Structure 1
Amino acid sequence: MGGNVNRFFRDAIASGVLLSAISAVQATPIYMTANFSGGILTTDGLANSLGLQQTSTCSGCAAGSVSGNVLFDQTLIPGSGTGTVNIALAAVTGASNSTIFDIDFGSRPLGFEFGDGDVLGGPSIQFNNGVFNGFFFVKDFVVDGKTYEINMQGANWTMNWLKSNSSSQLVASGYLNVGNQGLTSQTYFDPSLPATELPNNTVPEPTVLALVMVGMLGIFMTRRHKQTYATA
């Protein structure tokens, strides 16, 4: 009777350790850096003065380019069936603002990064059913005395000249490359360690790490049971 009770308490303690280990793994951020790109579909009015041209007529040149990089917590990526979810980007110890979020448009270039002023929304990274779907980012900026607004909604973005409080004019619009291949050169971020790029843009699921710990604890518990029964 006493041996069975002791085994019960040992199993209960082991289960508690197991649950604590899984919770710790799930709560620990896994920071990743990645690059992204896009293009310019339409231009009008003041686009040339901002160094912007349509990608279709300026393929491979700076004026038709859209590119950037982002740092995000991989453990916050929602699963399939969750629809569209925006995850706010946040400061990370050891990471500069330009590492957390940076995007450039055209040949000037027009650059925006995490921590900029006059941000009306975001920056947030967006996922659709767990797959990269662009960003949510709205910001006013001034160039040559004129006020503009960049508005990113998922995979699409527009740039408008704010002529007055009630009037605006489209300057350019475009897209970001999204989907499973939308984030390229994915790399684990740890300021104390050299960067390690993942093969084929694959990111390990947080549950995989938890399952590794489950397996290790399972082996330990099995061995303890065998030893207990052998000596009983």
Structure 2
Amino acid sequence: MIRAFAAALLVMLFAAPAQADTYTQANFSSGIFGGDANVRDPLLNPYFPSDPFSGSFVYDNNLVPAAGTGFVNVMINSYPDIAAISAADAFKFDFGSYVFTLADDPLAMIQYNNGQFNGFVFNTTFAFEGANYLFNLNGGTLTVRSEADPFGQPYINGYTNIGNGSLTGQTAYTPSTAPPVGAVPEPSTWAMMLLGFGFVGYALRTTRRRRNAVPAFA
């Protein structure tokens, strides 16, 4: 009976799912500042001052910092269910004829300021007319520089609209599949497991002592 109880307890503990995070998908907007100085040749065509851009991303509601926490960057690949979220769903930015996703920068982060959306930290490269350029989002700032001169004057200066009020189309997002088998259990699950093992061990020792006890005769 003890063995049956122990087996049932183990099945229950290992089958108990970890507390699931919840996710939201939202759209954001971006663009190039007005004024000819914000787009330089050879990128002046196809890009122009005041060009608007858009994108979307998925954020983990459980990882949004509380108000008053200052600047906090949350790595998108740190989501517990990131393996079940496609790169294009996790982060997507339509930059003219180029489309950037999380696959272009696996270290991409969402930036918050006192719990409010404050843009992204995202870096990638793209080729245009035989030259390579660095595309960078840093908080609410967008820049494009020459890969050959990464600290030089930007070829494009732009922005990302920040603040929770700038996000649109917010909808609940469900990862496509369950978390992978073998995921690390939550701390509460570990506590239940240890408690269960302790109880089973105590019960087994008690049973063994009773079996080994020698009856006393008067």
- Confirm or deny a common fold (TM above 0.5): yes
Percent identity over the alignment is 34
Q: Report if aligned partners of 2:76, 2:82 keep a CA contact under 8 Å in 1.
A: no
Tell me what 1:11 maps to.
Answer: none
Are 1:111 and 2:107 counterparts?
no
Q: Distance in 2 between matches of 1:152 and 1:191?
A: 26
Are 1:126 and 2:111 counterparts?
yes
Tell me what 1:101 maps to.
Answer: 91
Pairs aligned (count): 154
Q: Report if aligned partners of 1:30, 1:74 keep a CA contact under 8 Å in 2.
A: yes
Are 1:148 and 2:144 counterparts?
no
Structure 1: state its 5+ residue gaps.
1-23, 56-63, 193-232
Are 1:81 and 2:68 counterparts?
yes
Cα distance, 1:165–1:52 mapped onto 2, change above 3 Å? closer
Q: Distance in 2 between matches of 1:174 and 1:166?
A: 16
Q: Distance in 1 between matches of 2:149 and 2:165?
A: 39
Q: Report if aligned partners of 1:52, 1:105 keep a CA contact under 8 Å in 2.
A: no
The SS at the match of 2:154 is strand
Cα distance, 1:154–1:167 mapped onto 2, change above 3 Å? closer
Are 1:65 and 2:65 counterparts?
no
Structure 1 residues 71-125: Cα deviation after superposition (integer angstroms, max 9, x where no partner): 110110001111111101126344321111010123xx22210112xx4x83111
Structure 2: state its 5+ residue gaps.
1-16, 177-218
Tell me what 2:155 maps to.
Answer: 171
Counting only pairs closer than 5 Å after superposition, residues 21-32 of structure 1 correspond to structure 2 as 27-32=19-24
The SS at the match of 2:108 is strand
Counting only pairs closer than 5 Å after superposition, residues 42-53 of structure 1 correspond to structure 2 as 42-49=38-45, 51-53=46-48
Q: Report if aligned partners of 2:134, 2:150 keep a CA contact under 8 Å in 1.
A: no
- CA drift of 1:169 comes to 4.4
Structure 1 residues 131-155: Cα deviation after superposition (integer angstroms, max 9, x where no partner): 0000001222222321100111101
Tell me what 2:13 maps to.
Answer: none
Cα distance, 1:166–1:123 mapped onto 2, change above 3 Å? closer
Q: Report if aligned partners of 1:34, 1:183 keep a CA contact under 8 Å in 2.
A: yes
Q: Which amino acid aligns with 1:52?
A: Y
Q: Distance in 1 between matches of 2:168 and 2:29?
A: 9
Which consecutive segments of 4 or more residues in structure 1 shift more than 4 A?
none
The SS at the match of 1:38 is strand
Q: Which amino acid aligns with 1:31?
A: Y
Cα distance, 1:189–1:152 mapped onto 2, change above 3 Å? same
Q: Report if aligned partners of 2:93, 2:100 keep a CA contact under 8 Å in 1.
A: yes
Are 1:184 and 2:174 counterparts?
no
Tell me what 2:192 maps to.
Answer: none
Cα distance, 1:146–1:76 mapped onto 2, change above 3 Å? same
